[in-house]
């Protein structure tokens, strides 16, 4: 069950529900064999984008090319893209075997071939023994695997997963996402995975696109997006971010960020004009002594998280989140303590306005 790997190109895609714009100017290239994630909050258009690749929902403007062929005018049943639904959508009146065989029957495959193919697909997800069960006799995780088997058995060109893990409980979710990734690598299927959970996207995908308000905010590997967000939405949506607004001053060779409060930070990369800097909590150190380019502040509270202690510090006119690694025996700082924050400016990201 291996198919020729194909890529997906989406070019200038626009889509509206009536007068409400849902997708605006989406451009995207997904490489053959890539595991790609659409990440965004609910209402960001990620599911709509996935559904328009499968051919569901209103007809979009623009182009969707799968393996170089524009499918935007094709009905869903002629696209040969496999989709696994959030609700699994197993048909309750058909047995597991009949569910999995459905797509093959639609393709008018002789029944002598259907049998082995169904068996192989069920074997692939490790549920061969449940072939005669009805869907309502299966657990959530089993239903998920059957839905996957039903989709891959027809050897689709690409695999679309719409929040496939959201209906599973937490422990199963971690296991299933590893299985999904292993299966995808085994089949070499170009896969798109829609999720609102950044941990899911980070752990599975080769690259991902962050969406908000129907617009792609940034595309890249999970690490790139976390370390070098291109805008404030991406910065704050992925992980925790301290955002300080201000402007840049040049003093000879030095490039300094000046916050609204007058606090100054030395930047190590090129920057200009007004904007904001993004500081991750773990890239700030707390010291008791002032230094050049430290921010003075006061600890408001602390949360003990085990491997680290999270401090909320009033500094530079805002409440900053600062994470300090914790080792056994270290007491850390108490609330109401006056401290100084030393920023690792190598990691600070300048986002111009």
Partner 1 sequence: MTSSSRPAAGGRSLADRLPDALFPKLSGPAIVGLFIAIFLGGFLIFPVLQVIYVAFQDPGSGALTLRNFGDFFATSLFRESFVNSFYVSAMSVVFATLIALPLAYITTRFNFGGAMIVQSLGFIPLIMPPFVGAVAMQLIFGRNGTVNLLLREHFGFTIPFMDGLNGVILVQSIHYFPFILINLSTSLRNIDRSMEEAAQNLGSHGMRLFRKIVFPLAMPGYIAGAVLVFIKVFDDLGTPLLLNVNNMLAPQAYLRITSVGISDPMGYVISVILVAFSVLSLWASFLVMRGKDYATVQKGGGGLARRDLKTREKVLAYGAVALILLLVLSPHIGLLLLSLGTVWSYAPLPDGYTLQNYVTMWENSQQYIANTLLYAGLAALGDVIIGTAIAYIVLRTGIWGRKGLDYLATAALAVPGVVLGIGYLRSFQGIDVPFVGEPLASWWVIIAIALMIRRLPYALRACMAALQQVSHALEEAAENLGASKTRTIRRIVIPLMMGGILAGFVTSFATAAVELSATIMLVSSDADSPLAYGIYLFMQTPSGRGAGAALGIVAVVIVGLGTLLSQIIIDRDKKLKTQSGDH
Interface residues with partner 1 (CB under 8 A) are: 54-56, 75-78, 80-83, 85-87, 89, 91-93, 102-103, 106-107, 134, 136, 150-151, 154
Query: At closest approach, how far in Å is the CB of 290 from partner 1?
Result: 53
Query: Which alpha helices (DSSP H) does the chain contain, by range?
Result: 46-54, 96-106, 111-124, 140-152, 170-187, 198-204, 222-227, 232-237
Query: At closest approach, how far in Å is the CB of 257 from partner 1?
Result: 43
Query: At closest approach, how far in Å is the CB of 75 from partner 1?
Result: 7
Neighbours of 294 (CB within 10 A): 21
Of the two residues 131 and 258, which places its CB atom closer to partner 1 in the complex? 131
Of the two residues 147 and 276, which places its CB atom closer to partner 1 in the complex? 147
Query: At closest approach, how far in Å is the CB of 17 from partner 1?
Result: 12
**Phi-psi sector, 31: left (phi>0), alpha (psi -120 to 50), beta:** beta
Neighbours of 292 (CB within 10 A): 7
Q: Is the distance from CB of 131 to CB of 118 less than 8 angstroms? A: yes
Of the two residues 149 and 309, which places its CB atom closer to partner 1 in the complex? 149
Query: At closest approach, how far in Å is the CB of 284 from partner 1?
Result: 39
Of the two residues 62 and 76, which places its CB atom closer to partner 1 in the complex? 76
Of the two residues 55 and 246, which places its CB atom closer to partner 1 in the complex? 55
DSSP state of 322: E
Query: At closest approach, how far in Å is the CB of 94 from partner 1?
Result: 8
Of the two residues 86 and 228, which places its CB atom closer to partner 1 in the complex? 86
Query: At closest approach, how far in Å is the CB of 25 from partner 1?
Result: 25
Rounded Cα–Cα distance for residues 251 and 238 (Å): 33
Tokens of 210: 């962050």
DSSP state of 130: G
Q: Is the distance from CB of 188 to CB of 33 less than 8 angstroms? A: yes
Query: At closest approach, how far in Å is the CB of 241 from partner 1?
Result: 29
Torsion of CA 100, 106, 108, 114, to 10 degrees: 0
Q: How far apart are the first and last CA of the chain?
A: 50
Between the alpha carbon of residue 262 and those of residues 40, 248, 293, 315, the distances in Å are: 35, 11, 12, 11
Rounded Cα–Cα distance for residues 104 and 308 (Å): 53
Residue 321: closest CA among 329, 309, 331:
309
Of the two residues 74 and 219, which places its CB atom closer to partner 1 in the complex? 74
Q: Is the distance from CB of 58 to CB of 16 less than 8 angstroms? A: yes
Of the two residues 143 and 294, which places its CB atom closer to partner 1 in the complex? 143
């Amino acid at each position: 069950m291996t198919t020729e790997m194909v890529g997906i190109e989406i070019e200038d895609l626009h889509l509206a529900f009536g007068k409400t714009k849902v997708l605006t100017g989406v451009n995207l290239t997904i490489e053959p064999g890539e595991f790609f994630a659409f990440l965004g909050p609910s209402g960001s258009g990620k599911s709509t984008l996935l559904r328009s690749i499968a051919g569901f929902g209103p007809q979009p403007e623009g182009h969707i090319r799968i393996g170089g062929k524009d499918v935007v005018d094709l009905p869903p049943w002629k696209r040969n893209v496999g989709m696994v639904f959030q609700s699994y959508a197993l048909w309750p009146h058909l047995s597991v075997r009949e569910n999995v065989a459905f797509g093959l029957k639609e393709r008018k495959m002789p029944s002598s071939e259907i049998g082995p193919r169904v068996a192989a697909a069920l074997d692939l997800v490790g549920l061969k023994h449940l072939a005669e069960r009805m869907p309502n006799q299966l657990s959530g995780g089993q239903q998920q695997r059957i839905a996957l088997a039903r989709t891959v058995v027809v050897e689709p060109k690409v695999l679309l997963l719409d929040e496939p893990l959201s209906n599973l409980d937490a422990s199963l979710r971690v296991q299933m996402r590893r299985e999904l990734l292993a299966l995808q690598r085994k089949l070499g299927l170009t896969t798109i995975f829609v999720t609102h959970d950044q941990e899911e996207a980070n752990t599975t995908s080769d690259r991902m696109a962050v969406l908000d308000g129907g617009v792609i905010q940034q595309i890249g590997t999970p690490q790139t997006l976390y370390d070098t967000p291109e805008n404030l939405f991406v910065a704050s949506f992925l992980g925790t971010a301290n955002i300080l607004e201000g402007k840049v001053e040049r003093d000879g060779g030095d490039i300094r960020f000046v916050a609204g409060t007058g606090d100054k930070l030395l930047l190590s990369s090129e920057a200009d004009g007004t904007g904001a800097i993004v500081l991750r909590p773990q890239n700030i150190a707390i010291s008791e002594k002032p230094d050049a380019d430290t921010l003075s502040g006061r600890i408001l509270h602390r949360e003990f998280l085990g491997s680290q202690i999270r401090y909320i510090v009033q500094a530079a006119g805002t409440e900053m989140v600062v994470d300090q690694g914790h080792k056994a025996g270290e007491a850390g700082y108490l609330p109401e303590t006056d401290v100084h924050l030393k920023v690792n400016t190598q990691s600070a990201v300048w986002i111009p306005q």
